[in-house]
Chain A
Amino acid sequence: NAGVTQTPKFQVLKTGQSMTLQCAQDMNHNSMYWYRQDPGMGLRLIYYSASEGTTDKGEVPNGYNVSRLNKREFSLRLESAAPSQTSVYFCASSELAEETQYFGPGTRLLVL
């Protein structure tokens, strides 16, 4: 039982490049989330998916897109990376939207 897995663990991009962060969970959870954490700050919600087939914006959605591929997988795409998107990205899942979230280990992204 791996829980929530994220790939890659670390990525360096140049400004303007695109990439997709992958997230998968094996707990049969309905809800999935993407957060970013900047140094000295808390987690800020980028997008979430309350259930398969639905997605909704969080606090900081600009510059990102998401896809809830199926119940297990929720990807985050940066179409044109900017230095301001340098951060640690966490994926999380929960059985239902209002319940405790389980987090992946994070993806460290550096945009030069």
Chain B
Amino acid sequence: DQQVKQNSPSLSVQEGRISILNCDYTNSMFDYFLWYKKYPAEGPTFLISISSIKDKNEDGRFTVFLNKSAKHLSLHIVPSQPGDSAVYFCAASAETNAGKSTFGDGTTLTVKP
């Protein structure tokens, strides 16, 4: 039973447009959510996070929205740039189980010039 799901394996957008990556979770104990970005042959790097006490967090071009009732979060990238082309992983953890992050399978974003 996959507790964190990224239902879109891939997404293609035009440079300058908005990219929206989605993530759903099933475990109501999850209270901290992160997005990581991964380039080929490299390890993932942290992008942005949000705790369950918030419904939005912004960092420059990146915004994460959390809808706790729907158990859904999304990452918005505005404007999208070709350098944003990478695999994006959603991850979730529970304070009661700190250290045990559960990752989604990732969404490959391609930003076309």
Contact = CB atoms under 8 A, between A and B. Distances in A.
Interface of A: 4, 31, 33, 35, 40-45, 48, 50, 56, 58-59, 90, 92, 96-98, 100-106
A43 B89 contact: yes
A50 B43 contact: no
B43 to A, nearest CB: 3
Contact of A50 (B41, B98, B102): B98
Contact of B100 (A4, A48, A102): A48
Nearest to A58: B100
Contacts of A40: 9, 105
Interface of B: 4, 6, 9, 32, 34, 36, 41-46, 49, 89, 91, 93, 95, 98-106
Most buried by B among A45, A100, A102: A100
B49 A100 contact: yes
A83 to B, nearest CB: 21
B99 A48 contact: yes
A42 B4 contact: yes
A33 B32 CA distance: 18
A105 B32 contact: no
B46 A50 contact: no
B106 A106 contact: no
A96 B99 CA distance: 8
Contacts of A48: 99-100
